Amino acid sequence: MSTKTKIAVIGLGNIGKVVASNLVKSNREVILASHKIEDANTFAAQLGKLAKAADVKTAITEADVVVLSVWFNAIQELLKQYAAELQGKIIIDPSNPIAPDGNGGFKKIIDANESAGQILKELQPAGAKLVKALGSLGAGSLASAAFQNPTNVLFYATDEKSITNTIEELITNVGFDPVNLGGIDQSIRMEVFGELHEFGALGKPVTRAEFNQSAKS
Ligand SMILES: NC(=O)c1ccc[n+]([C@@H]2O[C@H](COP(=O)([O-])OP(=O)(O)OC[C@H]3O[C@@H](n4cnc5c(N)ncnc54)[C@H](OP(=O)(O)O)[C@@H]3O)[C@@H](O)[C@H]2O)c1
């Protein structure tokens, strides 16, 4: 990913704000968009001159990499609504297909053996390249565990081998060490309840050495 690669962050909640802030810490420009342009304007002003606000359509059109930091159902809608604008773009899906279970926890809203990544792949606009990434940690850890020494890992999965350099640079710029899990069919491993999600078996942010150790045991 060259510094000319344009990144849009769509959705400025827990995850979108951290992703955008971390990118700015790495001196990357970001285009910010959300439901309400006022939210994008306010947050762009907080982040300073590397951030600019736009409406969703403009942000997608101007970007090369589009981070869809909205809930799984909203990603499904955005992929349909902006199918034309998303053609040829790299789309980052951080989603976890979950909803409150009514007992203070969360339940999966798709079948146990399904992943959001694989379902979204079916909706991928022509020529777009879907990547599962940036969702394997909770938003708190995405902020606090970034830019550490030694670096903590973030996992990604994609069927698009031609863009792995771009994705790895993106994850590095978000403050983490990228680990490629393989194709999009590996998404389930890093989604909530998967063995590589912070709230799954892994249990916390880990370095590459810790990840390698856990993979052996
Ligand atoms: N929170 C976590 O710790 C965490 C961890 C890993 C992965 N994730 C995943 O990351 C994604 C975002 O989670 P979050 O916690 O950041 O959610 P959130 O705090 O609810 O933020 C979602 C943002 O998206 C905006 N939005 C919703 N629908 C939109 C649309 N159609 N067009 C434009 N903007 C839209 C919302 O705007 P309004 O408020 O105006 O509706 C809000 O700014 C989810 O898929 C989640 O599963 C979250």
Residues with CB under 6 A from ligand 1: 10-16, 34-36, 56, 69-72, 74, 77-78, 94-96, 135, 138-139
In CATH terms, the superfamily for domain 7-216 is NAD(P)-binding Rossmann-like Domain (3.40.50.720)
Whether 99 contacts 106, CB under 8 Å = yes
Question: Which of 12, 31, 34 to mutate for ligand 1's pocket (most ligand atoms within 8 Å of CB)?
Answer: 34
Averaged pLDDT, 67-81: 98
Nearest CA to ligand 1 atom 6: 135
**Residue 207 binned pLDDT confidence (cut-offs 50, 70, 90):** very high
The rounded Å distance from CA 176 to ligand 1 centre is 21
User: Checking DSSP bridges between strand 65-68 and strand 7-10, what pairing results, if any?
Assistant: parallel
Distance CA 176, CA 171 (A): 6
Report the pLDDT value the prediction gives residue 200, as an integer from 0 to 100: 85
Q: Which of 141, 57, 56 is nearest to 94 (CA)?
A: 141
Place of tokens 């350099």: 165
Nearest CA to ligand 1 atom 27: 70
pTM passes above 0.95: yes
Instruction: Identify the residue whose C-alpha is closest to ligand 1 atom 17.
Output: 13
pLDDT digits (tens, 9 = 90+) for 104-133: 988 999 999 999 999 999 999 999 999 999
- Mean pLDDT, all residues of the chain: 96
Report the pLDDT averaged over residues 86-113.
95
